Chains A and B, each alone.
Chain A
Amino acid sequence: MYIQIKDLCFSYTNQGDKTINNFCLEIEQGEIISILGESGSGKSTVLRLLSGLETPTKGTISIGGKIVTDDRTFILPEKRGIGMVFQDYALFPHMTVAENIQFGLKGYSRSEKKKRIDEVLELVNMEKFKKRYPHELSGGQQQRIALARALAPEPSLLLLDEPFSNLDADLQIKIREELKQIIKKTGITSIFVTHDREDSRAIADRIITMRDGAAHEWESLCTVRNTSNTYDYEMEIMS
């Protein structure tokens, strides 16, 4: 398995209930996974744990056979090679579109940088907007730049946190199709979080449902049942 998450536990406060309790998930290379769940069920938290922005209290995460989190190891977020598209995009307001994308291109020569910027901008159909600042873009355009920025350094895993939540309904359907094309084109392993079942069905190869509730309800259903039928598959992590 390309990505293995085992027995992940986490809580934001020291006492209190666990936000994430014995979360398990395995993902194959190139798969597009959707995590579906109600607000507050811990979807964003799973992404934050995967990316290294939070440290789990228990559990193991490995990506591409390399352990990034366990009792002894903790790889810092900047060393994990994971791309992330944030819910509100978090484009740097003091940089142009090109500068935003270039930001993650470490170890590229100048001409390589330029080439890569053009490549990803073409991928998201935004070649004309290179010189603009984020506040001069519409919501949908910002979203595409955020995607381009995350893809530019060629991450091994792409995380998207509610990529459509800031878009109006029409745009959402259009962009959802586009997003699927782009991700498929790059062949990158992706996890995207949403609370919209339609989004999940439209894009994902496999849907994981997260439910808030008593912590141990997830424990026993840790194994992934497999099926060839991509779209209609759903895994309930419920007792």
Chain B
Amino acid sequence: MKFYRKLPGYMNMWTVLSMVIVLLILMPNLTILISFFTQTTDNWEHIKEHILPLLLKNTSIIIVVTGVLTILIGTSLAWLISAYDFPLKGFFKWGLILPLAIPPYIAAYTYNGILNYTGIIQTTLRNDYGIRVDQKYFDIMNIPGSIFIFTLFLFPYVYTITRAFLANQSSSLIENARLLGRNAFEIFFRVVLPISRGAIIGGASLVLLEVLNDYGVVKYFGVPTFSTAIFQTWFSMGDLNAAIKLSATLMFIVFAILIFEKVLRGRKKYSYTTAKVKPLTPIKLTGWKAWTVFFYSLLIFSLGFLIPFIQLLDWMFLTFEKIASPVFTQLIMNSLLVAFTGAFMIVIFAVIIANFTRMHKSWLSKSASRITILGYSIPGAVIAVGISSVFIDIDNLLFTFYESFGMEASLFLSTSLFMLISAYVIRFLAVGYNSIESGFDKVGNKFTEASRMLGMGMTKTFFKVDVRLIKGAIFSGFILAFIDILKELPLTLILRPFNFDTLSTKAFQYASDEQIHEASLASIIIIVISGIAIYLFHQVLEKEPK
């Protein structure tokens, strides 16, 4: 292929901007990988010998057990909901997604608040029944506790993807198995699990990436993992290089998971491309079977949403007057400010890159699209380390420039909101991009091509035609990114400017200071906003013609 022939088609603003954005995204990650091999630090030997094995052990245990449990719960619920009719099924169908609205760190301190010495369970037992319990049975601030939290609040990733797959793709296989007289368990283990392997693994790998990204749960529970170790070496030991080395190690684990996913999933994507899909006809359950399934769904829904939500509501009413103040209003404003700005930038960048990658089918555009979604797999702690090093370097470079303006601060950029927003963009660009890319996919290229045949260039076409046709996708991309930023903890915690608090950082701080009740209002706001968004998206997805 003669590249220079293709060059004129590439020579436009869209290509240039896309390349710039992709490089900006790549920079912090590359910094980490490069420093891993070049920088040396005294602490590293010590860390490698004494801390790293523990980190690896904890991380592997949490990942493996959480992975297995979320697969079991997520897949079984997906199967029951798709294949059977039972009481309140219509409600559970989307209600079982709701645990995603509660960020795991909020769930962690809520459950601890429910279970600890002063919590509702122990006080009731003590005061009403005179029972004193051994604290060790009620302690969840350990590895099993973290697994409990991660499983309950992340399983919907497996559930939603698998359910979507089962609803659309599998009817003929499963109905055949039914006709052949297989019983329900045989069908589940011999047919459902194997055919939905790709979807299950896709969902489970999202869960694992979320677990690796987590900082709040493990920090609050005091379980040493990579995220906590990175922050500790960075802030307590003041050793950025050691933090970088830990980050790079974590990145390798992430890459391993991504490769593992690819290999396990094989070439198949989530869906076959059969033109007409016939939805699976649900079988009506009766008697004890119906009630068993009902109570199983209810149990998971209660543990994953209802119980923590009611507890938080209760605490909120206790503390509402104390908390709701101008300071709190400021928190909300701050959260909205960063979420809005971040989501706005994400959508703009995502549109630019998506418009570039759909016009050119080449290795260049393929890599651009890969890199764009890479950020979502990189844990927040790693992005924080990477972006800080880049910004500190930039500040050092600009030092003389700052001086000539007579500015005091030598670390101008690396203490600004700008750095935090950039980190959000890197981490959540994938969210906006996926939405917008699928919008472009749905519309296809024909209108764009028609417009160009009528004499409009790429940019004019974009504003007059493309934007009008994908505005729905742009809007959903914006909302999804907005919610993700609103819930985000590790990046915000580390990269925020001094004295700048958001709902999530404040909630986490209250909880860390043993003021669990005070954390409830901020938590409720986050949960309600996320819950509404999840509900809306669920409705939209259901209605959409397949």
Task: Knowing A71-B5, A93-B469 are in contact, say whether A53-B449 is a contact too (CB < 8 A).
Answer: yes
Residues of A within 8 A of B452 (CB): 53, 76-78
Q: Is A51 engaged at the interface, CB distance under 8 Å to the other chain?
A: yes
**Which residue from chain A places its CB closest to the CB of B2 in the assembled complex?**
A57
Looking at the assembled complex, report how far the CB atom of B313 sits from the nearest CB atom of chain A, in whole angstroms: 44
Q: Besides A55-B5, A93-B469, A104-B454, 15 other CB < 8 A contacts?
A: A73-B8, A74-B7, A76-B8, A76-B457, A77-B452, A77-B453, A83-B454, A86-B449, A88-B446, A90-B446, A92-B447, A94-B469, A104-B456, A106-B455, A106-B456
The A67-97 residues at the B interface (CB cut-off 8 A) are 71, 73-74, 76-79, 81-84, 86, 88, 90-94
Which residue of the partner chain, among A57, A78, A149, contacts B456 with CB atoms under 8 Å?
Answer: A78
Residues of B within 8 A of A91 (CB): 450
In the complex, A71→B5 CA distance in Å? 6
Residues of B within 8 A of A82 (CB): 453
**Which residue from chain A places its CB closest to the CB of B6 in the assembled complex?**
A55
Whether the Cβ atoms of B446 and A92 lie closer than 8 Å is no
In the complex, A202→B452 CA distance in Å? 30
Task: Knowing A74-B8, A76-B457, A92-B465 are in contact, say whether A86-B450 is a contact too (CB < 8 A).
Answer: yes
In the complex, A86→B453 CA distance in Å? 10
Q: Can you list 13 contacts pairing A with B, beta carbon distance less than 8 Å? A: A53-B452, A71-B5, A76-B8, A76-B9, A76-B452, A82-B453, A84-B453, A86-B446, A86-B450, A104-B454, A104-B455, A104-B456, A153-B455
Residues of B within 8 A of A94 (CB): 468-469
In the complex, A188→B7 CA distance in Å? 31
Residues of A within 8 A of B465 (CB): 92
Looking at the assembled complex, report how far the CB atom of A191 sits from the nearest CB atom of chain B, in whole angstroms: 14
Q: Is B464 engaged at the interface, CB distance under 8 Å to the other chain?
A: yes
Whether the Cβ atoms of B451 and A103 lie closer than 8 Å is yes
Residues of B within 8 A of A106 (CB): 455-456
Q: Is B179 engaged at the interface, CB distance under 8 Å to the other chain?
A: no
In the complex, A14→B1 CA distance in Å? 7
Whether the Cβ atoms of B464 and A103 lie closer than 8 Å is yes
Whether the Cβ atoms of B449 and A56 lie closer than 8 Å is no
Q: Is A98 engaged at the interface, CB distance under 8 Å to the other chain?
A: no
Q: Is the interface of A mostly helix, strand, loop or mixed?
A: loop
**Which residue from chain A places its CB closest to the CB of B456 in the assembled complex?**
A78
Residues of A within 8 A of B449 (CB): 53, 77, 84, 86, 90
- 4 A-B pairs closest in CB distance: A104-B454, A74-B8, A90-B450, A90-B446
Interface size of B by CB at 8 A reads 23
Residues of B within 8 A of A84 (CB): 449-450, 453
Looking at the assembled complex, report how far the CB atom of B467 sits from the nearest CB atom of chain A, in whole angstroms: 10
Looking at the assembled complex, report how far the CB atom of A100 sits from the nearest CB atom of chain B, in whole angstroms: 9
**Which residue from chain A places its CB closest to the CB of B361 in the assembled complex?**
A12
Task: Knowing A57-B1, A84-B450 are in contact, say whether A103-B6 is a contact too (CB < 8 A).
Answer: no
Q: Is the interface of B mostly helix, strand, loop or mixed?
A: helix
Whether the Cβ atoms of A74 and B451 lie closer than 8 Å is no
Interface size of A by CB at 8 A reads 31
In the complex, A216→B449 CA distance in Å? 31
Q: Mark B324-344, 1 if CB is under 8 A from A, else 0.
A: 000000000000000000000
Residues of B within 8 A of A83 (CB): 453-454
Q: Is A150 engaged at the interface, CB distance under 8 Å to the other chain?
A: yes
Residues of B within 8 A of A55 (CB): 5-6, 8-9
Listed residue (B7, B447, B453) with the most chain A CB atoms within 10 angstroms of its CB: B453
**Which residue from chain A places its CB closest to the CB of B445 in the assembled complex?**
A53
Looking at the assembled complex, report how far the CB atom of A210 sits from the nearest CB atom of chain B, in whole angstroms: 21
In the complex, A15→B410 CA distance in Å? 54
In the complex, A86→B446 CA distance in Å? 8
The B427-464 residues at the A interface (CB cut-off 8 A) are 446-447, 449-457, 464
**Which residue from chain B places its CB closest to the CB of A51 in the assembled complex?**
B453
Residues of B within 8 A of A14 (CB): 1
Listed residue (A90, A104, A150) with the most chain B CB atoms within 10 angstroms of its CB: A90
Whether the Cβ atoms of B5 and A56 lie closer than 8 Å is yes
The A104-125 residues at the B interface (CB cut-off 8 A) are 104, 106
Looking at the assembled complex, report how far the CB atom of A6 sits from the nearest CB atom of chain B, in whole angstroms: 15
In the complex, A214→B20 CA distance in Å? 43
Whether the Cβ atoms of B453 and A74 lie closer than 8 Å is no
Q: Mark A114-148, 1 if CB is under 8 A from B, else 0.
A: 00000000000000000000000000000000000
In the complex, A155→B162 CA distance in Å? 51
**Which residue from chain A places its CB closest to the CB of B444 in the assembled complex?**
A90
In the complex, A153→B450 CA distance in Å? 13
Residues of A within 8 A of B464 (CB): 103
Residues of A within 8 A of B469 (CB): 93-94
The B446-495 residues at the A interface (CB cut-off 8 A) are 446-447, 449-457, 464-465, 468-469
In the complex, A103→B451 CA distance in Å? 8
Task: Knowing A86-B446, A88-B446 are in contact, say whether A103-B5 is a contact too (CB < 8 A).
Answer: no
Whether the Cβ atoms of A153 and B8 lie closer than 8 Å is no
